[in-house]
Amino acid sequence: MARALDDIEKEVLAIDSKGKNELLKSLILDMDNETDINAEKLWLQEAQTRYVDLKSGKIKAIPANEALASARSKRNK
């Protein structure tokens, strides 16, 4: 059975600053890896969907300069 979160928290709080920094870095790297894998998969799916929609004529391409100008205009409102 996993230890209660309260027990783990008490142990972490007892660690010196250097140890906490090392633990924090490790936890952040672990979380970043999980997020990156999921995000990459989702972006690939989105790109594939957009490609299919573009090739089928469902959507129309907009030149980058027009898209950026539109985004800037909306941001400045």
Q: Count the domains in the chain.
A: 1
- CB of 12 closer than 8 Å to CB of 20: yes
Host domain of residue 12: 5-75
Residue by residue, DSSP assigns 33-59 as: HHHHHHHHHHHHHHHHHHHHHHHHTSS
Q: What is the pLDDT at residue 1?
A: 46
The pTM for the full model equals 0.47
Cα gap 77→70, rounded to integer Å: 11
- CB of 59 closer than 8 Å to CB of 68: no
pLDDT digits (tens, 9 = 90+) for 30-40: 887 777 778 88
